Chains A and B, each alone.
Chain A
Amino acid sequence: MTGPSTPTKLGMNRGPSTPARGIGVDQRTLDLSGLNLTEKEDRSAIFEEAPKTRFARDKLLEEAKKVIDSEGTERKKEVSLVVIGHVDAGKSTLMGRMLYELGRLDEKTRLANERGSNKAGKSSFSWAWSLDGTTEERERGITMDIALQSMSTPHRHITILDAPGHKDFIPNMISGASQADCALLVVDAATGEFEAGFDRGGQTREHILLVRSLGVSQVVVAINKLDQVQWSKSRYDEICDFLRPFLVQSGFHPSKTRFVPVAAMQGVNLVSLDEDAAQELRQWYNGPTLADHLDQLDAPARDIYTPLRIPISNVFKGSTSGTAVSGRLCGGVVQVGERLRVLPGDETAAVKLIEVKDESVPWAAAGMNATLYLTSIDPVHLNIGNVLCPPTNLVPLATTFTARIIIFDIQIPITCGASIELFHHSRDVPATITNLVSTLDRASGSIIKKKPRVLTKGTSAEVQITLRTQSLSGPFVARPIPLESFSVNKDMGRILLRRGGETIGAGIVLEIFG
């Protein structure tokens, strides 16, 4: 594991083109630690900027640094949290109820949701309606896309990304998870339900692996619906004991993993354990509430000195003028008035306004989820999946690249030529594994075999990936996507591979060939 307590570092045994990286040692299966590293980045040569803005930029970085450093003392720490778990585990209900308990949901809206869901014959989804906002979601009682909310605990300001659990919407879940620092895993304690969610094909397992592969290293596990199992302590313990080793194997350090018993519908142990409904739980539990746990989440490192990268996760019309785009900053700082390049493509746009947590702000820094209102660009050039960056420091565009990947628990092995879907932030594109370069030792990263014939489950490998054309008609050659090697920018260098609706592997970008 690569938790701070065991910083074992090997490496240096790769070709000259591949920078040395630290690699955690763990022989167990599905160790993702090799993909999530905690080394410090090299900070140099980033002050280069067009002369016109240099002075302002220096001051901006100074200001940003000051504000970020005051996080935790003068200001609450900021974290973003993706809520994950199998379909119907109660993620949206939990968040809806939590918003209410923390005073983020007013009585009027609560009543409206209660009445509306009742009328639709879906009264049990009343709490979920705060997050399941579209007609289709409400009709079906299923979350289909990420809902964005925010809430405050005494010491934290938390951006909530409520993910869909249904497996058809994993692309949306991935888009949400790549904007998060921490995860809240919700599991259904009801008899048979936890098991269904954890079995092959269940999303509990897949979501855990996905968020870890995307760089999330802290997880709070809420064992939900305890009312359905008569508040049984043994059921609670059984589920914790089951999940604990799996989380470790998946690369979560035990010190960054928390468990908490809850009942979302009745609001038990979310913010307090005092209500009547919590009486039975109090018999055997007097530990922290869910809110207590969330209040202790670590804030992410904010690397404001790396070049600005904003992968766009949503595009919509601004209320007054311009086009709004949102996304999490993967490095750098952006300020109002700046011009940004939109990749892929030749267009640039001007930043007219920046919003963070629904407030207009003069700048936003790495790790923040921001909405930028852009002008002097035709909205047709702004699409989900595009990346914004400074015109003077572009993200490389890739159609062919090498990656180091770990293969998940798959049934059909990966051969050279396998068709896959490549996921990078909010974008997914068809691609082909064009070369199996080598299989690697999971622990040391050293080459086990060159040019393997197949990659089976649990192996770590270096492969070459080439994008495929996306449309039925049109050019043969695939359009490149903005991508960066992991050694340059971690958040821009993580990829996921899926096939036939199943995640088959995760990895990091090594080298881009164009």
Chain B
Amino acid sequence: MGLKTAALKKSIWVFHVACSPCNNCDIEILDLLTPRFDVERFGIILVGSPRHADALLITGVCNRHVTPRLIETYRATAKPCVCFLFGACSCQGNVFKGGYNVPRLIDEIILEEDPNAIIVYIPGCPPKPEAMIAGVVKALSVL
């Protein structure tokens, strides 16, 4: 493991991409920053620009309007980057799967843009913050 990877593992900057979620997943994400979980202990912070990010945290189902924006955000992220699909909606469409406004799932869209993308699925509706931390740990052990 090189120095670069070691540093990357200790400092994951996250950009939150809300692809029309119901807002419940987003509240669970904010829980991660509170004193109870405090992910800054592991070097994880939220940043405001995809260009600074090492990880995209994607919530919600991707409808027709959001799709080009999601692709643009993915292309604006400096590689290497990890995509976390947070919540049942972004993992497999949840109850909205097959709806008229959900033509494709998020992992299909991202894999079409970049076949080598690293995608981590964190299921749950919404997932607990502990599940999120477990997901990050799994992703880091693969890197």
A binds B: no
